[in-house]
Amino acid sequence: MFITLNSCLENKISDIKSSTDYYFLKSNSDNDLFIFLTGYNQNFYEVIQTNSTLLNQLKSKDYSVLFINSSNTLLYDSLELDNIYKQVIEILQNKFPKSIHIGGFSMGGFGAAKLLLKFQKENQKGNSLILVDSPLDLNRFTKSIVNQ
C-alpha cells in the first residue's frame, strides 16, 4: 500500500508519503530532515501517536520528518542497515536536505547510531544523533534480557 497526499499547506507540508514500512512528511523547504527508527516491536503508527507533540513541533518548524519501521531484532547488522540506508535514499530520491538528524526510539536508538555512521561513511550528511528512551548500556541491557 502506498499513499500520497499533496498540498497540506496549513501544516507547511508539501507531500505525505506512507507505506507499511515508513511515513514521510516532506516540508515545503529544503530545511532539515529528521529520521526516526522505531524500537523493538514498535511501528511508526504507535510512535507517532505516543510522540505527537514532537511531530507537531517539527512540522511547525517546517522540517521534514521520516519515520521508519525498523526490524524486530535487538541488534542492527550491516545488511539491515544497508537496507534502511537504501530505503532512505529511495524515499529522498537522492535530493538531500541541508541537514540530516537521525534518531531512534528505544532500541531504535542503536540502529540510529549505526545509521548515522553509515551516512557518514557514505559521505552523506549526518549532522546529529537523537536517542529517545534508549538503553545506554547495550551490554547491561542484553545481560538483563538473558537473565529473564
Q: Which three cell numbers stand for residue 61?
A: 518548524
Q: Are 25 and 60 in contact (CB under 8 A)?
A: no
Percent of the chain with pLDDT over 70: 77
Residue 41 sits at φ, ψ, to 5 deg, of 60, 25
Residues 6+ apart with CB under 8 A from 35: 66, 68, 88, 100, 101, 102, 103, 112, 115
Tens digits of residue pLDDT in 117-145:
998 888 777 788 888 776 555 566 556 65
What integer pLDDT is reported at residue 102 of this predicted model?
A: 94
What integer pLDDT is reported at residue 1 of this predicted model?
A: 29
Q: How much is the mean pLDDT over the chain?
A: 78
What whole-number distance in Å separates Cα of residue 33 and Cα of residue 36? 10
- Which has the higher per-residue pLDDT, 7 or 78? 78
Amino acid at 115: L
Tens digits of residue pLDDT in 76-103:
888 888 999 999 999 888 787 888 999 9
What integer pLDDT is reported at residue 144 of this predicted model?
A: 60
H helix runs in 51-137, sequence order = 52-60, 78-92, 108-121
Q: Which three cell numbers stand for residue 24?
A: 514521510
- Of 5-14, 16-25, 82-91, the one with minimum mean pLDDT is 5-14
3-state SS, residue 121:
helix
Amino acid at 36: F
What integer pLDDT is reported at residue 141 of this predicted model?
A: 56
Q: How confident is the model at residue 115 (pLDDT cuts 50, 70, 90)?
A: very high
- C-alpha torsion 22→24→30→31, nearest 10: -90
* pTM for the predicted model, two decimal places: 0.78
Q: Are 59 and 11 in contact (CB under 8 A)?
A: yes
Amino acid at 9: L
